[in-house]
Structure 1
Amino acid sequence: MAVSNYLKFWITSIKTFGGKAAPLFLVVTHTETKSADEIEMYLGEFWNAVHDDDRDWLSESLNDREYAVGLKTLNDNTKEILESMKKSIVELFTDENNTKVELPSSWALMEQLLYEGAWKVLSLSEIWKLNSSLPDEYQIKSDEEMSKFLNVFMTVAFF
């Protein structure tokens, strides 16, 4: 049960902050002493723990980027797996479709207002007040849009 709650937490976080189209990697570590059958069994248990509603998009987001690697010994197999992972990462970040993020242009003005008061903790009502100071066509209109903006802004601001 704990594994399923842990997995649900991470899947929900990925969907919230990365979206269902976010490219993912599944890396199983500490496999030095495991046989291929044991690793396969573990991956099967992982997929069985994924809720049915999430299985298809998760599989699509992984797009065969599943790796099992032991890191204690840097043998030829480990080097090959790490090289494959590196190649996948480079491919993802050199593919314009994966690095392009489109956000409403009106968010830029709101972001600027928040940066002007950098490191000040604001209540949600204060943020809405700042929003209302913008010209009407640049204001965030709904609670849902404000929530999305704040999720993106907080992720970008701290990374």
Structure 2
Amino acid sequence: MEINTEKDEPCQSDSEETDHDARVLMQNAFAGSKRDTSDVSQYSEVQFSQEWDFSDYVASTNENSLKELSILDFAGQSAYYACHHIFFNPRAFYILVVDMSKDLKSRADRACDKEGLIYSDWTYADYITYWLGSIHTYGSKSAPVILVASHSESIGSDPNKKKFLEYFFEICGTVPKRLRRHLDKERAFSVEKNSDKNMKDLKKCIASTLKGQNHWGEDVPVAWTKLESVLRKIRMTVKIYPFSNLFETVKELKDLQINNEEELITALNFIHDTGVILFQKEKKEKENIVILDVQWFVDAFKCIIIDERHYENKDVDNCTDFDIYKSHGLLTGTLNRRINIDRSINKLAKYNKSE
């Protein structure tokens, strides 16, 4: 993921309003910090005045030896597709939900209503191939996928799973051979609306798939678990933290035993792969940031990347702004403020510790 923190030349007509309103989300991210967030383009270069008490930080452990599993539910509309890959990583496994009542060869209904896009004429089989291909490319070439076929009540009685297995192998036949390695009939389940059918077996499969990962039970440096504890402490105040500031914090914690930037990057990459944070090293050092609250980031995306069917706030006073946003991807300050106030401010408020 590349985040451009360099200033662009603003438009002269409404730049002041646009620049101010575009900072709404970033200011929420830095809620609780006492520093000035009026210039978010320089956020990675400004020292935080907030100080944390790390005297009680310890290695991240669980008294009951329970393992934490992070689950993200991705929106199905095409407007969100470009965002999903940010959350893929080699340590993850995936649950792919397909509608069993649909013909795989038929054009996907309501998946993408806009003409002229690469998704516009895709069939259900095309979408399955797309998701498996994305997992293969951005996750892992061996990432296990649990396939869940919904609406199985549409096929009638199927006591021996004959119809379901036929459907499963039909899916296998539509995807390239290199992607079939992600699928396994032992990880395939049919479910029904308003029914618990196969849910117990599905839960067992999720647990066994997790335990079957080659990194399950591996030993990790104590310093990394201590760093995770530090990150959780910082997350109580801010949601995004510059890498440079984190490195300065780490250097002050002598017993953490992370001695240089490369060691810190290695540790952050591991914590990223476990789903606790989002972090990718950028070429430009000043662009390196750590997203401490993944759920906050998901909700922030919902604020500005919205599917057309979610345009419940489109009205006579902003219809032009919506049309420009839809056709050119340009989000005006007025529309950004409207989206945040009417749709998302309540969702993001629970992450804002200053309120």
TM (norm. structure 1) is 0.58
Cα offset, 1:30, TM superposition: 0.5
Tell me how large the CA RMSD over aligned residues is: 4.3
Aligned to 1:104: 221
Task: Provide closer, same or farther for how the CA distance between residues 135 and 150 of structure 1 changes in structure 2, counting only shifts above 3 A.
Answer: farther
Q: Does 2:263 align with 1:138?
A: no
**Equivalent residues of 2:149, 2:190 under 8 A apart:** yes
Q: Does 2:155 align with 1:30?
A: no
Cα offset, 1:67, TM superposition: 1.2
Mapped partners of 2:130, 2:223: distance in 1: 37
Task: Provide closer, same or farther for how the CA distance between residues 113 and 142 of structure 1 changes in structure 2, counting only shifts above 3 A.
Answer: closer
Contiguous gaps of at least 5 residues in structure 1: none
Mapped partners of 1:4, 1:103: distance in 2: 35
AA in 2 matched with 1:148: F
Q: Secondary structure at the match of 1:25?
A: strand
Aligned to 1:67: 189
Tell me which of 112, 119, 127 is aligned to 2:237. 119
Aligned to 1:92: 208
Q: Secondary structure at the match of 1:33?
A: helix
Larger radius of gyration, structure 1 or 2? 2
Cα offset, 1:122, TM superposition: 0.3
Task: Provide closer, same or farther for how the CA distance between residues 105 and 13 of structure 1 changes in structure 2, counting only shifts above 3 A.
Answer: farther
**Deviations along 1:47-89, whole A, 9 cap, x unmatched?**
3455544533x34xx57131123335x5xxx74x345445x35
**Equivalent residues of 1:25, 1:66 under 8 A apart:** yes
Number of equivalences:
145
Contiguous gaps of at least 5 residues in structure 2: 1-125, 279-291, 296-355
Task: Provide closer, same or farther for how the CA distance between residues 32 and 53 of structure 1 changes in structure 2, counting only shifts above 3 A.
Answer: same
TM (norm. structure 2) is 0.31
Tell me which of 134, 139, 143 is aligned to 1:9. 134
**Equivalent residues of 1:28, 1:69 under 8 A apart:** yes
Q: Secondary structure at the match of 2:190?
A: strand
Aligned to 1:154: 277
Q: Secondary structure at the match of 1:43?
A: helix
Cα offset, 1:4, TM superposition: 2.1
Higher-helix-fraction structure:
1
